[in-house]
Structure 1
Amino acid sequence: MHAVVFEQYQTFPVLTEVEKPVPGPGEVLLRVAGAGACHSDVAVYREFREGQPGAQVPGFVLGHENSGWVEAVGDGVSGFTEGDAYLVYGPVGCGHCSYCSKGQDTYCENAATNPYAAIGLGRDGGMAEYVTVPARNLVPLGDADPIAAAPLSDAALTPYHAIKAALPNLAGGGRHVLVVGLGGLGQIAVQILTALTGATVIATDTKQDAMERAAARGAVTVPAGPDQAAAIRELTGGKGVDAAFDFVGATPTIATAKASMAIGGRLTVVGIAGGTVEWNFFSTPYESTITNTYWGTIEDLHEVVAMYRAGQIEPDVERFALRDALEAYRKLEAGELSGRAVVVPTL
């Protein structure tokens, strides 16, 4: 079968022929419906070096945002019907530590000794015609479109987990929330916040078209610039936002979000651009929090799918055939995509 393979560090992936996988004990073979192309994939093949913390050992098939139809099951697996559609929970932990027992494999206590981080991150992923998945990692989609759903396993799960943790800050009237960065995750974050809270959603990005899409979803937008934080605070009546989510994670974006915070506010840095933040007692709102989150739990993903099936969230998707998957990654790197690139092997 054809697949997009990460062959060596700091090298663009290749589209090549690999053997069709066979499901092992406890696994399900999926015929891939869609596989999302994510900036984390770019980091895997562009940024990481051998031995660096977080680096995944090549070679393997990329693709950690996956959906598909059941093709076959391995030994010990029951309860799955051929042809049914599922979304894939990507993280794979040790399966027996306290975090994995809660379905939060992203925080596995044995991550340093696990053979890989996730499906598509160290283990063969879904940028192929078929992928094998632990049965535990499958979330049913019912009659929902599995192709459009593929990005939900990261681009929706990641903001959902971060937002869910911050909901106490947004409970009550007159609350304000800030979304920094309106790419795939930020656009879905606006939708999740609108569905789950009554807060005024303020959104900002350097791209005008991204802000227009967020505005169409109910956000109040603020353009980037030297007076950005002041403009955000003005929208809150001067008190600042009760929660903020930075989906970029660069030093300037963290600084903007931090400067926009209210007393007791919560800033969650979700983007992994490697930014740093300075803390000072007199320049930080009292009892405010700066924290971070990574991906989410499988319980969260079930809830994300429920929102998707209810029509509360819908990712912006640009579809590519598998033969054009490398072009999808090229456009992702060049910033030429207006939605999430989803590779569809059946096209």
Structure 2
Amino acid sequence: MKAVQYREIGKGPEVVDIDEPHAGPGQVRLKVTAAGLCHSDWFVMDLPEDQYTYGLPLTLGHEGAGVVDELGEGVEGVEMGAAYAIYGPWGCGRCHACAQGAENYCPYAAEMGITPPGLGSPGAMAEYVIVDDPRHLAPLGDLDPVETVSLTDAGLTPYHAIVAAKEKLYPGATAVVIGVGGLGHVGVQILRAITQATVIAVDLGEDKLALAREVGAHHTVTSDEHAAERIKELTNGLGATAVFDFVGVQPTIDLARAVAGMDSFIHIVGIGGGILPAGFFSTPMGAAVRAPYWGTRSELIEVLDLARSGAVGVHVERYGFDGAVEAYGKLHKGEVRGRAVVVP
């Protein structure tokens, strides 16, 4: 079968032919209908050899959807031929966090060698993918897998970050979204769908700001030396009650700190490597800083329900396997508007 793999440190993705996998005991095989690209893939592929821990070759794709075509021994409750989305942050399934569906915060996964698809385990950017347990499947029903697959990360991750800040998103509050890329443009929609906060979107490019306005941002601000001043003006000098940084590089983190108001939440979602010093005389009084990771199983179901209602959607660029390397190149250069999806 065809697959998109990372095979050599520093070389980037390749389209290759590999053997088809088969479902073992307790596992489910999906015939892949869509697989999403993510900046996290490039974070992994850009790591130097002494920091790379994901194994080679690595089949990419931690955003996946497909139809069940093979069941391993003992699997129940999954329908052959039915469409599912894959919940990616796999945990041990037995600890306190996993019992709540919060496998994204499982404290034992790493030591047990449990890794997400595409981030250690073989991912969905292939003709077939193995899912380790049926609990990691969310029914898609009549949702279009290509239009929906990115919600397993680009929807779930901002949803988790926003829900965790819900107490700061009351009517009259202001939420700042920094970075209107794959996650940020969905984050704007989620804020509009589940809160009554005023949404200010910030990005470098006018095309991204135009997308932010298309999906519901009340205000857009160019990320330049005047951005903090402009946001303060829009918040009557008070600053934002919640800031969501979907980039995470040092300049955006510095901006997040500059525009956060007193008793606010600052959620650093992007993995750009920046650092935010927190404490007296560094962050505003009462401000809480958090680095949320992915989301829970129940939150994925909620995100898919938002998609069914029409409240949330993903701007998608489609590629076949032969265009996957080109798509990753565009993603690396910041030229993808919304999310790129590989369709087998």
SS of residue matched to 1:5: strand
Specify whether residues 48 and 90 from structure 1 end up closer, same or farther in structure 2 by C-alpha distance, changes over 3 A only: farther
Preserved CA contact (<8 Å) 1:48 1:55: no
Preserved CA contact (<8 Å) 1:9 1:44: no
- For the aligned residues, what is the CA RMSD? 1.4
Residue from 112, 115, 123 that aligns with 1:114: 112
Partner of 1:38: 38
- 1-structure distance, mates of 2:9, 2:90: 22
Specify whether residues 250 and 340 from structure 1 end up closer, same or farther in structure 2 by C-alpha distance, changes over 3 A only: same
Stretch of structure 1 that moved more, 119-128 or 71-80: 71-80
Preserved CA contact (<8 Å) 1:60 1:120: yes
- 2-structure distance, mates of 1:48, 1:306: 39
How many residue pairs match? The answer is 342
- 1-structure distance, mates of 2:196, 2:16: 48
SS of residue matched to 1:259: helix
Amino acid at match of 2:235: T
SS of residue matched to 2:64: strand
- 1-structure distance, mates of 2:266, 2:53: 27
SS of residue matched to 2:187: helix
Specify whether residues 91 and 283 from structure 1 end up closer, same or farther in structure 2 by C-alpha distance, changes over 3 A only: closer
Stretch of structure 1 that moved more, 176-185 or 3-12: 3-12
Preserved CA contact (<8 Å) 1:8 1:45: no
TM-score (norm 1): 0.95
Question: Following TM superposition, by how much is the alpha carbon of 1:311 offset from its aligned partner in structure 2, in angstroms?
Answer: 0.7
SS of residue matched to 1:221: strand
Partner of 2:325: 326
- 1-structure distance, mates of 2:190, 2:95: 30
Runs of 5+ consecutive residues of structure 2 not aligned to the other structure? none
- 1-structure distance, mates of 2:87, 2:109: 17
- In the TM superposition, 1:180-219 aligns within 5 A as 180-219=178-217
Question: Following TM superposition, by how much is the alpha carbon of 1:248 offset from its aligned partner in structure 2, in angstroms?
Answer: 0.5
Cα deviations across residues 276-330 of structure 1 (Å, max 9, x unaligned)? 1234623532111111111111111011111011111101100001122111112
Partner of 1:222: 221
- 2-structure distance, mates of 1:160, 1:328: 25
- In the TM superposition, 1:84-163 aligns within 5 A as 84-133=82-131, 134-163=133-162
Partner of 1:236: 235
Q: What is the aligned-residue identity percentage?
A: 46
- 1-structure distance, mates of 2:185, 2:271: 17
Question: Is 1:58 aligned with 2:56?
Answer: yes
Question: Following TM superposition, by how much is the alpha carbon of 1:251 offset from its aligned partner in structure 2, in angstroms?
Answer: 1.2
Specify whether residues 225 and 144 from structure 1 end up closer, same or farther in structure 2 by C-alpha distance, changes over 3 A only: same
Question: Following TM superposition, by how much is the alpha carbon of 1:137 offset from its aligned partner in structure 2, in angstroms?
Answer: 0.4
Preserved CA contact (<8 Å) 1:93 1:114: no
Specify whether residues 49 and 104 from structure 1 end up closer, same or farther in structure 2 by C-alpha distance, changes over 3 A only: farther
Runs of 5+ consecutive residues of structure 1 not aligned to the other structure? none
- 2-structure distance, mates of 1:116, 1:323: 30
Cα deviations across residues 36-55 of structure 1 (Å, max 9, x unaligned)? 011111122222434x3x73
- 2-structure distance, mates of 1:142, 1:252: 41
Specify whether residues 97 and 49 from structure 1 end up closer, same or farther in structure 2 by C-alpha distance, changes over 3 A only: farther
Partner of 1:4: 4
- 1-structure distance, mates of 2:49, 2:115: 16
Amino acid at match of 2:245: D
Preserved CA contact (<8 Å) 2:90 2:109: no
- 2-structure distance, mates of 1:161, 1:217: 19
Partner of 2:79: 81
- 2-structure distance, mates of 1:61, 1:106: 21
Cα deviations across residues 70-96 of structure 1 (Å, max 9, x unaligned)? 112111112322221111001122222
- 1-structure distance, mates of 2:246, 2:53: 21
Amino acid at match of 2:324: A
Stretch of structure 1 that moved more, 114-123 or 141-150: 114-123
Cα deviations across residues 136-195 of structure 1 (Å, max 9, x unaligned)? 100001111011111111001000000000000112x31111000010100000000000
Partner of 2:174: 176
- 1-structure distance, mates of 2:99, 2:57: 29
- In the TM superposition, 1:24-35 aligns within 5 A as 24-35=24-35
Preserved CA contact (<8 Å) 1:162 1:268: yes
Question: Following TM superposition, by how much is the alpha carbon of 1:226 offset from its aligned partner in structure 2, in angstroms?
Answer: 1.4
